[in-house]
């Protein structure tokens, strides 16, 4: 992770001043291209408040899946970090395997914990049984990104609100010489967009321990993806390449997480960028999955001072001040009430592109994990199946659905 010279100077000075009492903890997080700038902004304040805690940053995880796989391996080798950031849909397996510790003993020692901004609605995202195992760090929802210069040049003066309108806009852009009018984020982590199309129909992808890929709603989702990919002539881009291509002004519309907004704005070419709500299947989505991640305590240290230092860091980065930096440097929404209501009181008025996801908060639904130890393998089955649609290898969606159901059922517990 790269820090500015001033930030590094502050950290070095604070560290040197209290070297004899220094406690070192280790921390790992995903998506360096999104979050490096966030932690760079946070760390000077943390070091000033806690000069005796030295935070060692481990190599970043490539994705949420990589983060979970890494933690599972490190739990076997005995090399866990003290604090880890994990996708909201990947927390459960770490709780079930006893890797993520309950935060209840630490919370119990805090005075007025909810008054610090941690209200029940957000804590519920990381509550399993009756115990909080993580503090939500960032929350995202899918949105549309629009290059208004490209759209306007093709005679399109308003953002689409349905997928039919998206396809019509694609066809108009294609007719006006736009080679790649759209990127639709099928390859985003955790089958998030598949779940978005399911929740748009008010259908969960997991119900009563079963994956609902055999449902009519799942078939509608597959057929909708096929229409977008084929009628928009969408190129099969790796997701980082797609983000770069959109930022360079080469793609007219991009559907992705609001999380990337900060990164897009920092690398944006000379064009007018607007965000809009995630389109619906004929009308407004009935729900959308909450993306994002949570801070979890995975320290194996038996030293109470290390445990307390890890909690102090975890609490700080999810606090009002820490969560505000998430909003300022990314497109994520802070799950901390103090950040939204006090620190960021005027922020969204001044940043309307970041307001889009906030407006969709009433649609927020769970980003669901697949049951059992094979949850990551199920994720890969669905990913591979969607890629077959993108490449044109799969053309019969009913047949593809049946193949997916068979493969996934083989991976479910007690099947």
Q: The CATH number of the domain where 194 resides is what?
A: 3.40.190.10
Question: With pLDDT > 70 as the criterion, what percentage of the chain qualifies?
Answer: 94
Residues 76 and 184 occupy one common structural domain: no
Q: Which of 115-129, 176-190, 285-299 has the lowest mean pLDDT?
A: 115-129
What's the whole-number mean pLDDT along residues 158-168?
96
What's the farthest any 2 CA atoms get from each other in the chain?
Answer: 69
Using 50, 70 and 90 to split pLDDT, how confident is the model at 271? very high
Residues 312 and 341 occupy one common structural domain: yes
User: pTM of this prediction?
Assistant: 0.85
Nearest to 159 by CA among 280, 293, 286: 280
Residues 374 and 355 sit within 8 Å (Cβ to Cβ): no
Residues 268 and 221 occupy one common structural domain: yes
Residues 149 and 272 occupy one common structural domain: yes
DSSP letters for 6-41: HHHHHHHHHHHHTGGG-EEEEEE-B-HHHHHHHHHH
What's the whole-number mean pLDDT along residues 201-208?
96
**3-state SS class at 54:** strand
Residue 287 CA to residue 280 CA, distance in Å, equals 10
Residues 128 and 152 occupy one common structural domain: no
Q: What does the pLDDT look like over 397-415, one tens digit per residue?
A: 999 999 999 999 999 997 5
The tally of domains found in the chain comes to 2
Residues 205 and 152 occupy one common structural domain: yes
Residues 185 and 199 occupy one common structural domain: yes
The mean of the pLDDT values for the chain is 91
- Whether the CA torsion 402, 216, 373, 332 is positive or negative: it is positive
Does residue 144 register a pLDDT over 90?
A: yes
Ranges 110-114, 273-277, 370-374, most confident: 273-277
Residues 393 and 383 occupy one common structural domain: yes
Residues 190 and 296 occupy one common structural domain: no
Residues 236 and 383 occupy one common structural domain: yes
In the numeric block, the tokens 């935060």 are attached to 103
**Exposed / middle / buried, residue 385 (Cβ in 10 Å: 0-12, 13-18, 19+):** buried
Residues 196 and 323 occupy one common structural domain: no
In the numeric block, the tokens 């995630």 are attached to 278
Residue ranges making up the domain that contains 240: 142-289+370-411
What's the whole-number mean pLDDT along residues 15-33?
81
Residues 131 and 216 occupy one common structural domain: no
Does residue 2 register a pLDDT over 90?
A: no
Residue 236 CA to residue 221 CA, distance in Å, equals 19
What's the whole-number mean pLDDT along residues 136-156?
94
Residues 183 and 255 sit within 8 Å (Cβ to Cβ): yes
Q: What does the pLDDT look like over 312-364, one tens digit per residue?
A: 999 999 988 888 898 889 988 877 777 777 778 788 889 999 999 888 888 98
What's the whole-number mean pLDDT along residues 254-267?
93
């Amino acid at each position: 992770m790269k820090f500015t010279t001033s930030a590094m100077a502050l950290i070095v000075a604070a560290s040197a001043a209290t070297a004899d009492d220094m406690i070192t903890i280790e921390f790992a997080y995903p998506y360096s291209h999104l979050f490096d700038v966030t932690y760079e902004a946070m760390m000077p304040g943390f070091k000033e408040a806690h000069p005796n805690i030295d935070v060692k940053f481990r190599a970043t995880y490539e994705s949420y899946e990589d983060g979970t796989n890494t933690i599972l391996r490190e739990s076997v080798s005995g090399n866990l970090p003290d604090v880890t950031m994990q996708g909201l849909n990947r927390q459960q397996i770490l709780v079930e395997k006893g890797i993520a510790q309950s935060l209840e003993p630490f919370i119990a020692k805090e005075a007025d914990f909810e008054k610090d901004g941690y209200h029940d609605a957000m804590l519920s995202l990381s509550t399993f049984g009756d115990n909080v195992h993580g503090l939500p760090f960032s929350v995202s929802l899918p949105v549309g990104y629009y290059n208004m210069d490209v759209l306007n040049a093709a005679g399109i003066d308003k953002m689409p609100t349905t997928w039919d309108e998206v396809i019509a806009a694609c066809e108009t852009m294609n007719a006006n010489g736009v080679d790649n009018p759209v990127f639709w984020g099928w390859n985003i982590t955790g089958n998030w967009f598949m779940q978005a199309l399911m929740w748009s129909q008010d259908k969960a992808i997991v119900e009563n321990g079963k994956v609902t890929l055999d449902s009519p709603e799942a078939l509608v989702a597959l057929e909708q993806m096929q229409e977008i990919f084929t009628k928009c002539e969408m190129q099969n881009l790796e997701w980082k390449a797609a983000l770069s291509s959109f930022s360079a002004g080469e793609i007219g519309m991009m559907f992705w997480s609001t999380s990337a907004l900060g990164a897009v704005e920092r690398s944006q070419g000379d064009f007018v960028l607007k965000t809009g709500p995630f389109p619906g299947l004929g009308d407004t989505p009935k729900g959308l999955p909450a993306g994002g991640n949570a801070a979890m305590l995975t320290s194996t240290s038996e030293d109470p001072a290390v445990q307390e230092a890890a909690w102090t860091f975890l609490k700080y980065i999810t606090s009002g001040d820490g969560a505000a930096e998430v909003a300022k440097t990314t497109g994520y929404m802070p799950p901390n009430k103090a950040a939204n209501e006090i620190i960021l009181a005027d922020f969204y008025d001044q940043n309307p592109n970041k307001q889009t996801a906030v407006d969709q908060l009433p649609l927020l639904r769970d980003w669901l994990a697949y049951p059992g130890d094979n949850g990551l393998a199920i994720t890969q089955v669905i990913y591979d199946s969607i890629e077959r649609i993108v490449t044109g290898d799969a053309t019969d969606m009913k047949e593809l659905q049946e193949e997916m159901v068979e493969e996934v059922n083989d991976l479910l517990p007690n099947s």
